[in-house]
Amino acid sequence: MNFASKKPEESELALNVIALTDVAFLIIIFFMFSTHFTRTQLRSMDLPRQTGDTPAETALPVIIEIDADGLLSLAGSGRSDLPTILAAAQGRASPTAPASQTLPDLVIRADRNTPALHLNELASQLSAAGIRGWKLATNSGG
Amino acid sequence: MLPLVALLDVIFFLLFYFMAAGTLTPPENELPATLATEQVGAGSSSSDFTSQVIYVERASTGAAGPVQYRIGQRTMSTRSELDAVLSSLPKPPGIVIRAANDVTVAAVAEALDAARLGGFSKISYVSGR
């Protein structure tokens, strides 16, 4: 007679982590593709809420910020004096670059509640400096 | 059986990183404009039409007055009215936007966006009233 007792099944508590791993990877991929990384050099600003165009993937733009009080600053540099700002805007064009070369964009980020007086003054200065094209940043979420 | 603990650790670290580094702020868009000289729109166009000018101004004096848009003799107080008028204008000459100093940048952006969505490819901006 075989009295050998049946070997008890190993009751090892094993979590099935394969499905968990799959889901975690899917979430990571979702965040990788849907994330818009904050441009930390830019100030937090309540931009005008209009649809606007999606920015072109060109060279890094020169960004001029106008806060709600009308104070100008050059994004990323901390400089707020007008000559420096205008020089940066003019400096987008390299003297040796061909005329057909696409210039980096000049983007104005202005708080939506800023009086247009400050935008007009900046536009006048840019125009006087021979700068013609610019773009107004908007917040498409509005 | 593969040791998955370390793998899971890395996965969750990546997950937390993307959740923390991402931002909930919507992406920024842009409204293009060209800075115009005072002569633009005053009869210097080479086409048969001259550029129309959208005046962005306060309906009444004082900072509290509502913003209105004016093209020639037509005055529009809402975006839908502005869109309707812009849709009827010829597009080749382009359009000029002139904002008064006492309106907000939001009103300027509204006019720029209306012109862009109205089909104008040449949008100029003139500073001052």
For A6-20, write each residue's pLDDT tens digit: 555 555 666 677 788
Q: Model confidence over B29-87: pLDDT tens digits? A: 778 777 765 544 444 444 556 778 999 988 876 667 788 999 988 899 888 999 999 88
Nearest residue of B to residue A16, measured between CA atoms:
B4
Whether B26 maps to a domain, the answer reads: no
Residue A27 maps to a domain: no
- Whether chain A has a CB inside 8 Å of the CB on B26: the answer is yes
Position A9 in a domain: no
ipTM exceeds 0.90: no
pTM for the predicted model, two decimal places:
0.69
Q: What's the distance, CA A53 to chain centroid?
A: 14
Does the pLDDT of residue A77 top 80, yes or no? no
Q: Is residue B91 part of a domain?
A: yes
Range of the domain at B49: 31-127
Interface test with A, best of B1, B5, B19, B30 (most A CBs within 10 A): B30
Residue B3 forms part of a structural domain: no
| Residue A128 domain flag | yes
In a domain, residue B18? The reply is no
Domain membership flag for residue B7: no
User: Which residue is closest to B128 within chain A, CA to CA?
Assistant: A120
| Residues in B touching A133 (Cβ below 8 Å) | 32-35
Tokens matching residue B40: 């633009």
Question: CA-CA distance, A138 to A95, in Å (whole number)?
Answer: 31
Question: Structural domain tally of chain A?
Answer: 1
Residue A18 lies in a domain: no
> Residues of B with CB below 8 A from A111's CB?
105
In a domain, A89, yes or no: yes
- Give the CATH number of the domain where residue A80 resides: 3.30.420
A79 strand-pairing partners: A74
Q: Which of A35, A50, A126 sits opposite B22 (nearest CB)?
A: A35
Can you give the residue range of the structural domain that contains A125? 62-136
Instruction: Indicate the range of A111-120, B5-14, B72-81 predicted with least confidence.
Output: B5-14
Residue B82 forms part of a structural domain: yes
Residue A98 lies in a domain: yes
Q: Which pairs with CB-CB distance under 8 Å and at least 24 residues apart come from A123-132?
A: A123/B35, A123/B125, A123/B127, A124/B127, A124/B128, A125/A82, A125/A86, A126/A86, A126/A89, A126/B35, A127/B35, A127/B37, A127/B127, A129/A86, A129/A89, A129/A90, A130/A90, A131/A86, A131/A89, A131/A90, A131/A106, A131/B35, A132/B34, A132/B35
A59/chain B closest Cα distance in angstroms: 15
Q: Answer whether residue A46 is part of any domain.
A: no
Q: How many structural domains does chain B have?
A: 1
Classify residue B106: in a domain, yes or no: yes
Does any CB of chain B come closer than 8 Å to the CB of residue A41? no
